[in-house]
Amino acid sequence: MWPKAAAVVAFRKLAELSRGAVELVLPPTCAGCGAQTDPTAVLCRVCDSRLERIAPGACQLCQQTSPQPDSRLCASCELSDSALTACFAAFRFEGGAADWIHRFKYPKKGLRGLDPAPASVVEAMLNEAGYRASGPPPGLVVPVPLHPRRLRLRGFNPAAELARSLAREFGIPFDPVALCRTRNTTSQTGLDRHERRRNVRDAFRARRGRQIPEQVWLVDDVVTTASTLTEAAIALRAAGARTVIGLCAARALSNVPSVGR
Ligand SMILES: [Zn+2]
Ligand SMILES: [Zn+2]
């Protein structure tokens, strides 16, 4: 290892050790306001109350209507034949949740990586979605990939950072490169549901030689119509997955049922 790299590793180790020491001495504090908080919580009750939770009993695919009697899905999602088995979020993408996610995805200039406070909050938001996913634990956690060109511009893939943390929380294997983007699609922002589906159609495939288990958790930071997640789920199914459960830190909900296909 060349000296500069060795110095960086040593510095990181030291930072980790000193952070551990600080945690031993100082009581845990809220990532939002700095108030003293429960050691198991990232946010205090006041800051947590600024995040709007999705009803845990909502349809397990669109997350915005009530399921049919004796079903986990609403009438519209039952007919949709989605490649996604389910898609869970614990929070609505608005207000406090949207602010945290924005801070996580766009760290202040000068920070040479993720901003630790928003990263810990958004990771906790995604973990909460993971705890809502019922059924046996999956064999793999996979993030929605960025196109290599977009990854170079951004410096990191927010979905991959979150998926890594989720995999650690649940003790599940993580593969950041199980899927790849075959096209550099334009942003989904501002497109309607049909345009979004067309924009990401056939945009993903499983990387050659990757073993995809039967059950997979597929992670993105924010889900709106689930078009991107659905296309990624189609690629995972083509590579052998039978159950693909989408998980995201927050879900943008409208009044229109959102999951197609
Ligand atoms: Zn607080
Ligand atoms: Zn539904």
From the CA of 58, the nearest ligand is: 2
Domains of the chain: 28-251 (3.40.50)
The pocket of ion ligand 2, defined by CB under 5 A, consists of 59, 61-62, 74, 77
Q: For the residues 165-193, what does the mean pLDDT come to? A: 89
What percent of the chain shows pLDDT beyond 90? Answer: 68
What percent of the chain shows pLDDT beyond 70? Answer: 87
Please name the residues in contact with 99: beta carbons below 8 A apart, sequence gap of 6 or more. none
- Residue 194, pLDDT score: 78
Q: How far is the CA of 68 from the centre of ligand 2 (A)?
A: 9
Alpha-carbon gap, residue 165 to 167, rounded angstroms: 5
| Average model confidence (pLDDT) across the chain | 87
Q: Which residues pair with 223 in a beta bridge?
A: 251
Q: How far is the CA of 86 from the centre of ligand 2 (A)?
A: 9
pLDDT level of residue 242 (50, 70, 90 thresholds): very high
- Residue 119, pLDDT score: 95
Q: How far is the CA of 100 from the centre of ligand 1 (A)?
A: 13
144: amino acid identity, one letter: V
Q: How far is the CA of 96 from the centre of ligand 1 (A)?
A: 12
pLDDT level of residue 258 (50, 70, 90 thresholds): very low
Using one digit for the tens of pLDDT, what is the confidence trace for 98-152?
999 999 999 887 776 689 999 999 999 999 999 999 788 899 999 999 999 989 9
pLDDT level of residue 13 (50, 70, 90 thresholds): low
- Residue 256, pLDDT score: 44
Using one digit for the tens of pLDDT, what is the confidence trace for 202-223?
889 999 888 899 999 999 999 9
